[in-house]
Chains A and B, each alone.
Chain A
C-alpha cells in the first residue's frame, strides 16, 4: 500500500516537472506569437532577478544574515562581464566565468570582515558600507568604469543577440538559471544547508555543538555572492547597457523586498517575488508614474496581513487543500 503511494507520488512529481518544463519551452513562442517581444523581454528580466533573489535568500532566508550590500555582488558581476566584453576581445565564455568569480572574491572580502558581527543592524550597516564603497569606486573612477555614464552597447555575441528576437536569449538565460537553481537547491538540501538553518535559528547552540559559525556563514555568503554575480551578468547581457545605479543601496533593498513579497521560507518564494515585482512594475508604470506609492501600499499590506509572503500564503492554502482531500 505504502509503496504504491510513494510510486504514485513520484509519478505525480514527474508529471508536474514535465508540465512545467514543457510550458517553459512553449512560453516564449506563445508570447512572441500572441503578444509582443516586450513580454519576452519581461520574462528574461524576471529570470535574472529571480536568480538574484534566490541567491540572496541563501544568506537571509536560510542563513539569517541581514545583508544590505548584495547590490555590490550583482553589480560587480555585471560590470566585470561588461568591462571584459567592451575593453578586451575576450570571448563571452571567459567573461561569463570571470564575472561570478570576481563577485565571489568581493564577497569573500566583505564576508570575511562581516560574518562575525552579531548585531543584526550592525551587520546590515557594515555590509551596506562596503557595498557603498564599491558603488563610489565605480561611480567616480571614470577612467576605468566610465563613471556615471555607465556602459552602453555591450557587444553581445550573435547567438544570444536580442536585436531581432528575445527567444535565443530567453533559452540561454533559462538554461543558466535552471542550472544555478538546481545547484542552489542541492546546497540548501545538503548537510551544509541544514547547518546554515541551524545557525539562523540558534547560533549559540550551533556553536556549542562544535560548529564553526563564522566559517559556515562565510561560505554561504561567498556562494550567494557568486550566484548574485551570475544574475548580474544575465542582467547586463539582457540590457546591453548598465549604470552604477545597479550598485546603489536601493538595489540591495529591492532584492530584500522580492524575498518578502514571495516569501523567504520557501526555496522558490523569492523567485516568485521577483516575478511579481517585475510584472507589477511594468503594469503599474504603464498606468501611473506613482509606482512607488503602489509598491509601498502593497508592501505594507503584506507586512501587516501576509508576513510569509505570497508564496507562503499559497503554500498554506495548498497544505490545507491537501489535508482536506486526504480526510
Chain B
C-alpha cells in the first residue's frame, strides 16, 4: 500500500464526516448527562427514528423539496417524541439511583425498536440524495462527494450554535446553573423542570437531525441505533461526561481513528476505537476534558 497524500486526505475527510455525525449525537448525550445527570441509552433510538422519518418524508415529497423538508420535519417530530418521553417517564426518576435510570432508558430501546418495526417493517430502507447535493468535488486528483461537505457544514454550524447558546445566551447560563445547583436555580424562581424538558428536547432534536443527515448515506435498518449508541458512549466518555467541547474532541478522534484504522486493518477498525477508549479511561479516569464533578462546559 503506497502512502500517497491524496489517499490520506480521502480518509481524513471521510473521518471528519463520521466525526460530525458522532458529534451531533454525542453533544446531546453529554448535555443530558451534564444537566440532568441521566445517561440516555435510548439516544440511538431517537437517531434511528430520525432516519426512518426522513425516509417517509422523502417518499411523500420527491426531489430536493423532500430532502429539505425531511431535514426540518424529522428532527422536529423526534424532538416532540423526546418531550413526551421526558415529561411522561424520565421526570419521575431524576431522584432515583443511576441504575434505575439506565434501565428505564434501556427499556425504551426495546420499545422504540418494536414500534419502528411495527410502522416501517424490517426491510432495509434507502433515502435518495437531492440532485443539488449529488455531485463530486475534485481535489488533488481525488473525487469527494459533495454530501460529505454538506455534513461537515451541518456539524460545524451546530457546534458553533451550541457554543453560542451555552456560553453567550441567558438560557445557556440558566442551563449551566441548573447543572451545578438544581435547587438553587429553583429557589431563584426559575422552573428547573422546564429547563430539563427543553434540554432533553434539544438533545433528541440533535439526535433526530443526525439520523436525517446520515439517512442518504446508509441503509436504514433496525440495528442502526444499537450500533451507534456504543460509539457515542465512547465519544462522550473520552471527552469527559457533560463536556460539549470534549464531545467534539472525542468525536474527531473517534472518527479519524476509525477512518485510518480501516486503512490499516479493515477487519479490526472498530477494535481500535475500543482500545483507544480503554486507554483514555485508564489514564484519564474522567475523560480528556472532564472534571470529577458534574456540570456542563
Contact = CB atoms under 8 A, between A and B. Distances in A.
Interface of A: 60, 66, 113, 116-122, 125-126, 128-130, 132-133, 136-137, 140, 249-250, 253, 256-257, 260, 289-293, 295-297, 299-300, 302-304, 307
Nearest to A120: B98
A126 B100 contact: no
A270 to B, nearest CB: 13
The CB with the most chain B CB atoms within 10 A, among A60, A126, A289, is that of: A126
B268 A119 contact: no
B111 interface: yes
A130 B274 contact: yes
A299 B103 contact: yes
6 contacts: A121-B39, A129-B275, A133-B271, A300-B111, A304-B89, A304-B92
A113 B117 contact: no
Contacts of A119: 241, 285-286, 292
B282 A66 contact: no
The CB with the most chain B CB atoms within 10 A, among A113, A121, A125, is that of: A125
A300 B104 contact: yes
Contact of B118 (A290, A291, A295, A302): A290
A118 B282 CA distance: 11
A229 B271 CA distance: 23
B103 A256 contact: yes
Nearest to A298: B107
A66 B233 CA distance: 15
Nearest to A60: B99
A126 B281 contact: yes
A249 B195 CA distance: 33
Contact of B111 (A117, A118, A140, A292): A292
Contacts of B281: 117, 122, 125-126, 129
Nearest to B92: A304
B86 to A, nearest CB: 14
B100 A133 contact: no
B191 to A, nearest CB: 23
A253 B277 CA distance: 20
Contact of A299 (B104, B282, B285, B292): B104
Interface in B247-279: 267-268, 270-271, 274-275, 277-278
Contact of A295 (B99, B107, B117): B107
Interface in B213-237: 226, 230, 233-234, 237
A113 B281 CA distance: 10
Interface in B71-108: 89, 92-93, 96, 98-100, 102-104, 106-108
A120 B97 CA distance: 11
Secondary structure type dominating chain B contacts: helix
Interface residues of B, number: 43
The CB with the most chain A CB atoms within 10 A, among B33, B107, B286, is that of: B107
A128 B230 contact: yes
B39 A303 contact: no
B7 interface: no
A231 to B, nearest CB: 21
Contacts of B287: 122
A132 B270 CA distance: 9
B234 A129 contact: yes
B115 interface: yes
Contacts of A304: 89, 92-93, 104
A136 B111 contact: no
Contact of B277 (A120, A129, A136, A289): A129
A274 B81 CA distance: 32
Contacts of B271: 133, 136-137
A67 B280 CA distance: 18
Nearest to A125: B237
A299 B110 contact: yes
B156 interface: no
Contact of A250 (B226, B233, B277): B226
B285 A290 contact: no
B101 to A, nearest CB: 8
Contacts of A130: 274, 278
A292 B275 contact: no
B295 to A, nearest CB: 14
B237 A122 contact: yes
Contacts of B109: 296
B114 interface: yes
Nearest to A110: B278
B128 interface: no
A136 B272 CA distance: 11
A121 B110 contact: no
A69 B125 CA distance: 32
Contact of B274 (A118, A132, A256, A257): A132
